[in-house]
């Protein structure tokens, strides 16, 4: 966060009045000094720099609100750290990535805050930027909430949300299908392959089908 340098202006006004009389005060006539009106002094207005607090981290199809997909890793991690505190884990590997997540010898950095994991790659085939800069390409939330912080979409969808509430939030833009790649029921929001995608803990026919995984950004083709 930017440091705020606060300037303070101090003004001191000094006035003195002196009167001298004889040793015998009874023989000295009283002297009345005329009233003096000092001109008003207007100090110049001082404008202090305004500190903008980081926006709340929101699970969006284009990123995390304060960090969009394609943002360079250093700046994105700094913004998320300002908003969420120190991460629980931060690791980097260089490996051959599966289709859709990179290519040969791709650098992958994964940073985790509780249920939220944020991924960065330097893959030049990325749809977000192709200059080889390590950049934000994916977020996902999953697992048990052990830290008390709940990550959610602007519509209030989070891990544990019932499918009935997800349908109400997204209406006709929601697709529910069986994902053969992972052998689970999947939800998608919108037609884009880079939109929101999630998994349910049971069949959509179940009255209590809940969200157990939600992600956006790059993902493996299968």
Q: Is 49 helix (H, G, I), strand (E, B) or coil?
A: coil
Q: Comparing 217 with 3, which gets the higher pLDDT?
A: 217
Give CA–CA dist 163/168, Å, rounded.
Answer: 9
Structural domain span for residue 99: 73-217
Dihedral of CA atoms 186, 189, 193, 195 in degrees, nearest 10, equals: -120
Instruction: Give residue-wise pLDDT tens across range 8-30.
Output: 322 333 233 333 333 333 334 44
Q: Is residue 57 part of a domain?
A: no
Global pTM value: 0.73
Q: What is the CATH number of the domain that holds 158?
A: 2.60.460
Instruction: Give residue-wise pLDDT tens across range 82-140.
Output: 999 999 999 999 999 988 889 899 999 999 999 999 999 999 999 999 999 999 999 99
Q: Is 221 helix (H, G, I), strand (E, B) or coil?
A: coil
Q: Is residue 67 part of a domain?
A: no
Q: Is residue 134 part of a domain?
A: yes
Q: What's the rounded mean pLDDT across residues 151-165?
A: 96
φ/ψ of residue 40, rounded to 5 = -65, 140
Q: Is residue 40 part of a domain?
A: no
Residue 1 has pLDDT above 90, yes or no: no
Q: How many domains does the chain have?
A: 1
Return all residues near 51 (Cβ < 8 A) that are at least 6 apart.
1, 2, 4
């Amino acid at each position: 966060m930017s440091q705020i340098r606060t300037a303070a202006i101090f003004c001191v006004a000094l006035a003195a009045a002196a009167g001298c009389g004889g040793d015998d005060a009874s023989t000295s006539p009283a002297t009345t000094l005329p009233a003096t009106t000092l001109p008003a002094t207007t100090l110049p207005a001082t404008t202090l720099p305004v500190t903008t607090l980081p926006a709340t981290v929101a699970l969006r199809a284009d990123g995390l609100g304060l960090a969009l997909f394609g943002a360079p890793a250093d700046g994105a991690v700094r913004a998320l750290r300002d908003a969420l505190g120190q991460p629980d884990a931060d690791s980097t590997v260089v490996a051959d990535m599966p289709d859709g997540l990179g290519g040969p010898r791709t650098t992958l950095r994964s940073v985790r805050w509780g249920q939220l994991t944020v991924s960065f790659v330097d893959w030049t085939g990325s749809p977000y930027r192709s200059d080889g800069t390590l950049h934000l390409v994916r977020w996902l939330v999953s697992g048990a909430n052990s830290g008390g912080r709940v990550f959610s979409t602007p519509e209030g969808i989070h891990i544990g949300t019932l499918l009935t509430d997800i349908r109400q939030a997204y209406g006709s833009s929601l697709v529910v299908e069986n994902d053969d790649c992972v052998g689970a029921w999947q939800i998608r929001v919108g037609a884009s392959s880079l939109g929101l995608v999630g998994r349910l803990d049971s069949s959509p026919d179940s009255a209590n089908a809940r969200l157990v995984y939600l992600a956006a950004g790059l993902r493996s083709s299968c």
